[in-house]
Every structure is written in C-alpha cells, then in structure tokens.
Chain A
Amino acid sequence: MHTIIRYGKNKPGILLVMLGVVCLFILRSIGSSAATPSYANSNFGISGRVIDLQGEPVQGAAIELIINGESEANDDEHNNDNPSSQTDGNFFIEIPADDLDEITSISLTISRRHFHTTGLTASSDQLSQLKSQQSIRLPDIEMERRITAGFWVASIVFVLILILIALEKLHNTMAALLGTAIILGVSYVGGAFNEMLYIFDFQQALEYVNFDVIFLVMGMMIVIAVIEETGIFQWLAFQSYRLSGGRVWLLITILMTITAVASALLDNVTTMLLMTPISIQIALALGLDPLALIIPEILASNVGGISTLIGTPTNILIGSYANLSFNDFVRYLTPGVLIAQVALIGYVLIRYRKQFFKGRGVSPALMEMLQESGRITQPEKLKKAGIVFGITIVFFVIGESIHLIPAVTALIGAVAMLLWVSPDVEEMLSVVDWTTLMFFIALFIVVGAIQEVGLISMIAAALGKVVGTSLTTSILVLIWAAALLSGVIANIPFTAAMLPVVGFLTRTVPGATSNVLFYGLSIGSAMGGNSTLIGASANLVAAGISERAGYKITYVEFLKAGFPATIITVLVGTIWLFIRF
C-alpha cells in the first residue's frame, strides 16, 4: 500500500524544503573551503607540493615523516598521523621540536594509490635549517602513475558505458549506474582480496560529483516544465506559418530561428518534442515534405543550444568545470553561434530549394485544426511564467556581479515558478527527471574513476604531445576531434571525460588560459551532434515523432543533410574562435 503525502497548497512547507536545499548547498561550499588547512599557526617543518608527471596536483598523497630511520606516523605524543596533500597538491609536515640535536637524518615517503611510492631525504643544509627550527620548502615532488588492475577495470567500464549508450543496449542512466556499481563493487569487494583492484571508496567517489551541475539541471527542469505546457512553442510555430505567408524559404528561416532561440534559452529536447508535431502539421497543410522543416529545425536546435550556458547539458558541464559564467558564454560564444546559424540557414535553403515551389493552399478544415494546435493553451500561466523566466535570465546575466552562481539562480527561478505560477508541488516535482539527475551523478563517479586511476592523465599527456605548445593546433584538434567523435559516441560522457584533459591543456599550452579550449569543446561536442542521427537526443526524438507521422528519417538521409551542416558550422565556429581569441 502506498502512503500518499500531499504537498498541494503547503507553500511555507515548500519554501522550507527549498530553503533547506539552498542552505545545504551553501554549507557544503563553506564546508569545502573550510577543509583547506591553514598553516599560519604551524610551528616549523617541511612544506612542498606533490604533482604528477603532467604537473597536475596530486591530492591525498600520504606524507610519512621518517626521522633517524624511524617512522613518525603513529607517534601519539606529537599527534603526527601521516598528513596528506591537499587539493592543490600542497602539504606541510611539522617536525617535533624536542631532541632536535639527536636528529641525524630526515626523510619523507610519499605514497598514494595508483602512484609509485616515492621518497626523498633532506640534504645536510636542509637538515641544519630544520635543526635550527626553520621551515624548509621542497621543490615540487613528482609522482609517477602506476597502472593497476583497477586502472583496467575503470577504463574498460568507461568504454563499455560509451558502447552501451551508443548501441542503445541500455538506457543512459542504467548504463552509467551499472558502471558505478561495477567500479565501487570491484573497489570494495575486489580491493579486499587484491589491493591492486581498488579504485576509490564511496566518499572519494562522491567528491567527484559536481553538485552545481545537478542543481542547475534540476532547477531548469522545473522552469521548463511550467513553460512547456502553456502552448508557447506551438503558438510560435503557427505564427511562423502565418508570418511567412506561404513562402516556404521564409517559413524555414523563421522556424529555424525560433528553434535556435528556444534551444538556447530552454533545452533542445523539449524544443524538438514540442516543435516537431506542429511543424509536421504545417508542412502537410502546405503540401511540403515534413522533413524539409524537421531536419532544419533539428540542425538549428543543436547549433542554437551552444550559445548559452543553459542551452545544452554539455555547456552546463563545461561552464561548471571551468567556472564560466552565463555572460562568458554570451560574450565569447553567442556571436560565433549566430554567424554559424546564418551559415546554416543559407546551407539549408540551398539544400531544400526544390521544396520552395511545392507549397499549396490549405483546406479550411485543416486550417482550423492547425490554428487549434497552434494556440496558447494557458495564457495566464504563460504571462506569469514569462515574467519569472525573464527575471531568471536577468539573474543569470547579473549573477556574476552579485556572486550568484548559475545553479542557485536556476533554483531560485524554480522556486518562484513553484510558489507563484504552478503551486502544485506534487506535479511539479514529478517533472524533475530523477533518472537524468542519477545519470549525471553516476557519470561523474565513472569519470572520476578514470581520473583517479590515471586514464585521463594519460590521454592528456598523449594529446599534449600531439599539440605540443601550439594553441592553434590545440584548438583545431580539440574542436574537430570533438565534432567527429560526438557523432558516434554520446556527447555528455565524452564531454565530462574531456573536461580534465582540456583543463590540463588550458594550463600547459601557452595562451590557452583564456579558456578558448573550453569554448572549442563546447562547439565541437554540440555541433558534432548534427553529423549523425544518433549524435544528439534531440535528433532521435524528432525522428521518432516524424516516423509516427509516416515520415521516417533514415540514418543515411540525416547523414546527407547533417554532415555537411556540421562541417559548415564547425568551420564557422573555428574561425570565430580564432578571431575572438
């Protein structure tokens, strides 16, 4: 028997729940900053930084102090229980102040899972300095990666997930959860029998989950859910038809523009789910091949989504990882996307030019039905939702200057929607797609695992060798590799895995600190979704609806239209980045 808890009109309750969530979020941030140790009050000792061979800081490396050949690790008198390196790789280890004269040697042993243990001994000068109670700073300590059995487990699991998703053998979320279960299961059970199988523990796994992304996605889900039921998409599509006055080229142009803008501000899948049925009706009413409207809309949706932080899940991932604000995307990417969109419209008009002369008159009965499909169903709700959504966008824009991160802005927008526009919490919270949120959480853990075992470092090192110190080569390789790979593998896991790699290149390639490579990743991974039918979720849902209307979009047909579109738009995007940076 189910116990039904009704939240319906309990507005203070909702507020409390949401406030609780916000507080937890803030406390978490404070907590994480408080975890950074302060060395200001330390006595004297040895400080240093542990890095890997790519110069990346190594967190959690245990530093064991050895004095006169004896470990100080469990010396309760000094409470010196193996300190470890922090997130920036830095560490500080105190030297016991008593019996300094008796010290003849001091050495450190640095160990961490998935790395070879390394050690170093203080020189006679350093020893004298320490004996005179002066701290010393060591040069950066490099740790070499160790390929363990856990490395192979994590790497194989990640590839397996990509394959399962690409072949649609398992739902995205199920595939990612399966990967998480294998990784943690092997770590705990396998690790108990063979230490080499250990990858990470549950606490470490959770540290890889980016809660900014989770909250931003959740907040936007609620905001979009309120807007989607008002009929605004269908109304816009019908108005496109009216505005075009039967001119097919104008209809395609307006529909593509509307789709691009909607995808930039909301999300591609919702846009295509709601635009496709009405677009098919418009096409049929006019005697056009519906695919001449649907395929251009799909292409426009995937390109348009790139222009804002909230337009695609990949942008949300990139923005959160690289700390790029809503305005950063608007400043550095939107103009380029607009130019790419213009080029895309030009390409589409040439490709579908034969359709321009196929238009015919519409029967009054069908026109009446079309009009009915294209009306705003909830005008009052749309008015309120429009105001809240507008304010949310304003907060996204000004958020940077008032220290408001996008995740909190989305949460505020969602709470406002719940309180003022659609107070049925039960219904609204049901629109939060927990499977998607679980997908992100599980994906972060799996990507965290390949980061932990060193696969990402290896890819970064290999890519670093290919691009050398050339920013131009880095941009070209990254954008085009991302574009081509996104057509065949799911772009969300791909982007999530590439983020640390791009982060490494950003720090090491001269001139890349402008974050240009992150924008390149955004362009490549999202525009690449246009190259094949399976390249993006929006493609598949639009194809699904179209097939149910009797107009099947085949893989080859989409490839013929989508691949040249990808080449054109990625080319424009590449040129834009070279001009802008």
Chain B
Amino acid sequence: MRKILCATRGGEASYRTQDAVIERALEEDATILFLYVVDLEFLKHTSHGTRPHIVRQEMDRMGNFLLAMACERAANKGVTAHPILEHGKFDQALIQAAQEEKVTLIAFGRPAEESVFQMSGLQELAQRIELETGVKTEIF
C-alpha cells in the first residue's frame, strides 16, 4: 500500500497542496498521512510567564483541527487520510514521521508568494530529506 506524507497547515496555499496530493492519492490508490508540526519558537518573541505546555495544548488542538479539515477534504473525494501531529523542528519531525510510517512519497506544497519559504530553499530541503530518508520527495 502506497503512503504519501504531506506536511500541512491551513490557508489557501495549503488547500491547493492538499487537493493536488489527494488527486495523486486517487491516481495511485494511496493513503495520505497529513502531518502538522507544533513549533513554539514564536514564544521567544515574548518574555512572558505563560507555561509553554498550556500554549502547546492549545496549539495541539488547533493542529488537530487543521488536520481534521484536511482529512475531511480527502474523505470527501474518497481518499483515506490519517492525521499525524508532531512537535519540534519541522524538518526533524518530517523525517521522523517518514521513517516511522515507512512512507513512499513525501509531498511539499509550492510556497506561496508571501511564504517565508523560498522555492530554492524548499528544493534544498526536499533534497536533503530525500537523502536522509531515502524516500522520494516531490513539490506539488
């Protein structure tokens, strides 16, 4: 059974990627694993007493909600999808999920114009992850 790992968030750019991955899953009769990575790096912007685990709990809920939306989108087109929620740095979490789930393809979304990711940076990341995991990567 083929498995496609697709890191996702929300927003129009993510929806476009989700749709493209769902189409590919339909073609290949594959299962999709949607991955959301909770990264609390933004908390460094504030010297504040809120306990990170409280914020993480809320971010987990939000991540699960975004994953549920993605899975629902796939289910509506007859594709089986499962959510995976990880914590920490994005690339490490992606590699870990790919290895644990023994996926056959890692899908990246084309960066939106306003995204912090540039295309060249994303290609570099995809190549590095392909090297480390031995799993084919593709930018949709």
Contacts and interface: CB of A to CB of B under 8 A. Distances in A.
Contacts of A168: 45
A273 to B, nearest CB: 5
A234 interface: yes
Given A365-B68, A550-B11, A537 B62 contact: no
B57 to A, nearest CB: 9
Contact of A228 (B43, B44, B54): B54
B122 interface: no
A366 interface: yes
B130 interface: no
Given A549-B10, A549-B11, A541 B114 contact: no
Nearest to B49: A433
Contact of B9 (A228, A366, A550): A550
B72 A363 contact: yes
A280 B10 contact: yes
Contacts of B39: 548
Interface in B13-45: 13-14, 38-39, 41-45
A254 B58 CA distance: 21
B50 A228 contact: yes
A550 B45 contact: no
**Best-buried of B8, B47, B58, B66 by chain A (most CB within 10 Å):** B47
B50 A269 contact: yes
Contacts of B47: 171-173, 433, 435-436, 439
A432 B61 contact: no
A363 B48 CA distance: 36
Given A280-B10, A284-B69, A540 B58 contact: no
Nearest to A373: B61
A437 B13 CA distance: 41
A365 B72 contact: yes
A281 B49 contact: no
Contact of A430 (B44, B51, B65): B51
Interface in B70-97: 72
Contact of B43 (A278, A366, A544): A544
A540 B115 CA distance: 17
A284 B65 contact: yes
A270 interface: yes
A193 interface: no
Contacts of B48: 269-270, 273, 433, 436, 537, 541
Contacts of B41: 544
B14 A540 contact: no
A370 interface: yes
A278 to B, nearest CB: 7
A329 B8 CA distance: 46
Given A277-B62, A549-B62, A551-B10, A540 B68 contact: no
Interface string A237-256: 00000000000000000000
A273 B58 contact: yes
A549 B42 CA distance: 13
B45 A537 contact: yes
Nearest to B38: A548
Interface string A359-377: 0000101100110110000
Nearest to A267: B48
Given A280-B10, A545-B59, A550-B13, A221 B49 contact: yes
A483 interface: no
Contacts of B65: 280-281, 284, 366, 369-370, 373
Contacts of B55: 273-274
Given A284-B69, A369-B65, A431 B45 contact: no
Nearest to B37: A548
A497 to B, nearest CB: 18
A548 B68 contact: no
A284 B61 CA distance: 13
B120 interface: no
Contacts of B69: 284, 366
A559 B44 CA distance: 22
A234 to B, nearest CB: 7
A276 to B, nearest CB: 8
A274 B43 contact: no
B42 A547 contact: yes
Contact of B58 (A221, A234, A269, A363): A234
Contacts of B46: 269, 537, 540-541
A369 B62 CA distance: 10
B64 interface: yes
A548 B9 contact: yes
B31 to A, nearest CB: 19
Interface string A515-550: 000000000000000000000010011011101111
Q: 3 nearest interchain CB pairs?
A: A544-B42, A550-B11, A550-B9
6 contacts: A234-B58, A363-B72, A365-B72, A372-B61, A537-B45, A544-B45
Interface of B: 8-11, 13-14, 38-39, 41-51, 54-55, 58-59, 61-62, 64-66, 68-69, 72, 114-116
